[in-house]
Structure 1
């Protein structure tokens, strides 16, 4: 497997823009006064349920750690080490590396809580020691070792953590990061936890069907699979065990190429965002591991940096970028159906389309059985808004009162004023997929409101025709509203609705509306509605201009 030496990276022309970005970000953090993570700020979450105030400042500190470490790896000047040592000292002095949102108020030993971010921090610090070795002062190496032993090693040996049996990204991120921390800093103790680390990663893989699709969405696939792959790579190197030699893991590795609708739009079912970074470094690594089944669908080389400043994705993007694959751009799959997720995807020259059946259960789920997305050059035209702001209430009883999580914020009918219900038992049933057709019965998502609700999509090169047929348990007249949502403001011209480059044709009269909501970045946003009153048969056509 190709791995780039950091000293050679500065001479790789395909990484020039990313190197400039690292230098620029480093200067920003170098000249910044690091925000304090005060007790008051920590407790703000418990008082208000708001996460952003603490977490944003936390991520600034992790950004300073990442950028100063990268500068030390690549350039290694005295100034870079001075900046790195300052932020290492700051992080080692933090009360806890975990988030208040991930522990109960009044937790007796918060420094022993291993969540996503404490695990990432332990990995980052031990990897810095591994990569820089004797270039670091002895007292800093010892300080990192003591803090990691106190916060990660001993707690993990002495306690069982709930995430070890989670079937989603937590198991991969925490398990992978903790595993790498042991292998780097305390390899002699790895045999004490090896079985549990492997168990956590097995739990993670169990959350995928054999089709490899992450129903948590691309963002969470990125997060979990980066750490799974990072650990697997180091585990094979140090212990000779190959976790990647598995057909299901290979299918999961193909998830990224399947989730992009266009170059700038991704499938955003559930708690996702509508635009994601294409992780070229991970794609290059997987291509070199699995061959041409891994498609390189974007010729841009990403930085691997996100708003959380995750250490692994940035370092490995630089280490794993293959100059022989840089500039390659292969076609995305045209028509696909993923039977475990029950997702249908079809990419045409003028647009990309996806629709889903599935259920209203699962991690980061929204109530969206039968919903769909149409994406053009402008982005999503008929949209799935994706995730709202993460707060305490967002993950508790009020979750489905949020517009973006409720079916009233998705492209599905509202029947007698009722929305779809939450839970694994509220689901759809796929009737047909293939040859430009996707059909399902989505009645079970509505908790006994309706006997049958058959939704059928017919795709042409220039348009999509949708037909809904409703069958009720009685002969009463029912109030049916067909709802379609967009993040682009619709306009009505000559009785037809236009959204960007798409025109909607329907015999019924459109009713336009909108509602404000908070997006994942805690910014005020708007979701636009195009509603139609419907009889028991409804037809509509979405035409690309």
Structure 2
């Protein structure tokens, strides 16, 4: 069967009008008419299409084969009961997950190598990976398995599958593998394909069709976060590729669309992602994958890209881009994309093309650089779609758009750079919002600053996840606390978590010469702190003497004992000059002139976590600045600019 194209534009019929929401796609009669029958959706060529797979460019071919060779040189990862129980007993996730994801990375790389070479060696390696996954008691990871949380239950119950992110990912990995390599697997044993169909049905598709209690679905709790589109994107692939009943496909798609409608309805109108740029790749990007599958499978009849809010979502990644691999990070999002598993540039490219966003397409192509069309990562479907998209394969390299400024009024996030299209100069971001956001940090009012594309005043981000990150002691972790963001502390009081702790009276003005934001962050602090108002005003003034002016002005209901400002910086600061702090970056220093403070105190924060070290190296530094005269009403000012090049 000739594959359908996942990328060629299919215009609306002249009489059609854009849908208001995804709810318009839930009609079972409509779905029964437009969805393909079982086994008829094959959007990428299978291994027998040697003309296609032999035409893949040499750079991509060599990258895939190199990665596959590296992974296959190691023993297959082993998932033991002891590793599973390690999380239950210690709360540590990485020991089990390193082995779990290692199996899947190797299988994905071997599938791609098998497609490119049609070599029996790689078909056999794929068979081993598939068989290992089929033999796993659960495809869920320990941190997400609800059956193992009950007292006395220390191992997963195969009779009670948990449909989490990675169970869904595993189901889709197996479904795509059968779709493109089924002939080669059947030649080894027809039982393999049969077992894949049965296991995906029992672990993924039946739970999705019959269980309304999944919190990510949106029936028992709203709003929903990235789990919703992430899981649905994989469930849709499982159903369209493996379901054997047209009625089952209709039911699965209808329920997936219902959940996606909840996700989109709860998304801010401005398209901002309060989970941060890394999670955008599993929120907005996964949503676009869902829409792409629905569009392609129905010949363009179900076109969710035409919904007005959808177009706003694609803006986020390139508008929070600082330079190179650095991004504005909020919540648990890291300051830079940390691995190939996180982001597949083609997804952004396709999303941008469908919504007519040339800047999004340019940013995606910048992310790819001069490298391969795709690289093996955890999501096999993403790589397959990238390889099947001729437009993406042929797209010329482009520089990053480096947007001059952006403001998300609902999300309450400002980004602004000294000169649009240029890395050189100052970059600033200011965050409002509330402290009940998904993957929240207590960070209302925090300010980030970069010089010449290098972060100087920063948000640490998040360490490798443990059980504590998603439990009642989350805000005992230092990276979550407002005292470890660029924020004030009044008489020992930090910000508190919850939607009720929020910025107030937030306004922004964006112009050619100046970008500024003003917000009252008093509402993010507990009542005992006694803050009536804490106005924070931050402005980037462009021009020959570009600088960032930062003024905090407060009013309390008492005479305070101490008011401090904490700043987190990416390099050891020089505080030798009175009234001035120098934070070095590779080219120039960030100079922070300050008025109204005692001499600053500097603390080195050694980083022993691999995720934090991956972003920042061995250490971050915290500067504590204490108000010289703590008073009921008062203010302080900071003036930030780039120092002379060394």
What TM-score do you get using the length of structure 2 for normalisation? 0.79
CA shift, 1:218, in A, is 1.1
**3-state SS of the aligned residue for 1:157?**
helix
* Equivalent in the alignment of 1:332: 402
SS in 1 for 2:305: coil
Q: What is the rounded CA distance, in whole Å, between the counterparts of 2:352 and 2:592 in structure 1? A: 40
Which of 118, 126, 133 is the matching residue for 2:167?
A: 118
State the 1:162 CA deviation: 2.3
1:497 deviates by: 1.9
* Contact 1:265/1:375 (8 A) holds in 2: no
For 1:34-433, list aligned pairs within 5 A. 34-104=76-146, 105=148, 106=153, 107-109=156-158, 112-137=161-186, 138-160=190-212, 161-165=214-218, 167-186=224-243, 188=245, 189-239=248-298, 240-276=301-337, 279-295=344-360, 296-297=362-363, 299-301=366-368, 309-320=378-389, 322-329=392-399, 331-349=401-419, 350-377=425-452, 379-429=454-504, 430-433=506-509
SS where residue 244 of structure 1 aligns? helix
SS at match of 2:500: strand
Distance 1:142 1:477, change over 3 A: closer
Say which is worse superposed, 21-30 or 116-125, in terms of deviation: 21-30
Q: Per the alignment, do residues 304 and 381 of structure 1 end up closer, same or farther by CA in structure 2, a change over 3 Å counting?
A: farther
Q: Deviations over 1:66-92 (max 9, x none)?
A: 100111222222211111111111111
User: 1:351 Cα deviation (Å)?
Assistant: 2.3
The yes-or-no answer on 1:544 pairing with 2:642 is yes
Gap change, CA 1:110 and 1:482, over 3 Å in 2: farther
**Shift of residue 514 of structure 1?**
2.6
The alpha-carbon distance between structure 1 residues 460 and 5, as it changes in their structure 2 partners (threshold 3 A), is farther
2:622 equivalent in structure 1:
529
| C-alpha deviation, 1:148, in angstroms | 1.2
Q: Distance in 2 between matches of 1:452 and 1:84?
A: 61
Change (3 A) 1:149 1:503: same
Q: Does 1:485 align with 2:485?
A: no
Separation in 2, partners of 1:467, 1:304: 47
Q: 2: distance between equivalents of 1:518 and 1:248?
A: 41
Write the deviation string for residues 84-109 of structure 1: whole angstroms up to 9, x where unpaired.
Answer: 11111111111110011112322533
For these two proteins, the number of residue pairs brought into alignment is 542
Counterpart contact for 1:262–1:352, Cα < 8 Å: no
| CA distance in 1 between partners of 2:171 and 2:332 (Å) | 27
C-alpha distance in 2 between matches for 1:323 and 1:128: 22
Does residue 514 of structure 1 match 2:556? Answer: no
CA contact (8 A) 2:305 2:355 kept: no
Q: Which residue of 2 aligns with 1:438?
A: 517
1:456-484 C-alpha deviation (Å, 9 max, x unpaired): 1121233211111111113x244111111
- 1:373/1:384 contact within 8 Å kept: yes
Alpha-carbon separation, structure 1, partners of 2:381 and 2:418:
35
Maintained 8 Å contact 1:385/1:404: yes
2:344/2:374 contact within 8 Å kept: no
Counterpart for residue 22 of structure 2: none
Task: Summarize the Cα distance change of 1:261–1:10 in structure 2 as closer, same or farther, 3 Å threshold.
Answer: farther
Q: CA deviation at 1:323?
A: 4.1
Q: Secondary structure at the match of 1:464?
A: strand
Counterparts of 2:398 and 2:114, CA distance in 1: 30
Does structure 1 retain, via aligned residues, the 8 Å contact 2:520–2:535?
yes
Supply the distance in 2 between the matched residues of 1:274 and 1:306 (Cα, whole angstroms). 22
RMSD: 2.4
Counterpart of 2:550? 466
Check whether the contact 1:390–1:520 (CA below 8 A) recurs between aligned residues. no
Structure 1 partner of 2:23: none
Q: Highest Rg: 1 or 2? A: 2
TM score, norm. by length of structure 1:
0.93
Aligned partners of 1:96 and 1:111 also within 8 Å: no
Structure 2, unaligned runs of 5 or more: 1-6, 9-42, 420-424
Change (3 A) 1:384 1:312: farther
CA distance in 1, matches of 2:201, 2:439: 32
1:170–1:518 CA distance, 2 compared to 1 (3 A): farther
TM-superposed deviation, 1:9: 6.3
User: What is the DSSP-based 3-state SS (H/G/I as helix, E as strand, rest coil) of the residue aligned with 1:411?
Assistant: coil
Equivalent-residue separation in structure 1 for 2:610 and 2:192 (angstroms):
37
For 1:283 and 1:152, locate their aligned partners in 2 and report how far apart those are by CA, in whole Å.
26
Equivalent residues of 2:462, 2:611 under 8 A apart: no
Q: Contact (CA 8 Å) 2:216, 2:227: kept in 1 or not? A: yes
Q: Which moved more, 1:3-12 or 1:176-185?
A: 3-12
Decide whether the 8 Å contact of 2:386 with 2:393 is kept in 1: no
CA distance in 2, matches of 1:522, 1:223: 21
**1:115-169 deviation per Cα after TM superposition (whole angstroms, max 9, x unaligned):** 1001011111111111234233123211211221221223333322222115211
Assess if the C-alpha contact under 8 Å between 1:421 and 1:447 holds in 2.
yes
Tell me whether 511-520 or 422-431 shows the greater mean CA deviation. 511-520
CA shift for structure 1 position 388 = 2.2
Deviation at 1:293, TM superposition (A): 4.6
Taking the aligned partners of 1:355 and 1:180, their CA distance within structure 2 comes to: 38
Q: In the TM superposition, what whole-angstrom CA distance separates every residue of 1:153-189 from its partner, at most 9, and x where no partner exists?
A: 2333332222211521101111221122011100521
Question: Contact between 1:167 and 1:206, CA under 8 Å: does it hold in 2?
Answer: no
Q: CA deviation at 1:493?
A: 4.3
Between stretches 296-305 and 506-515, larger displacement belongs to 296-305
Would the aligned equivalents of 2:229 and 2:283 in 1 still touch at CA under 8 Å?
A: yes
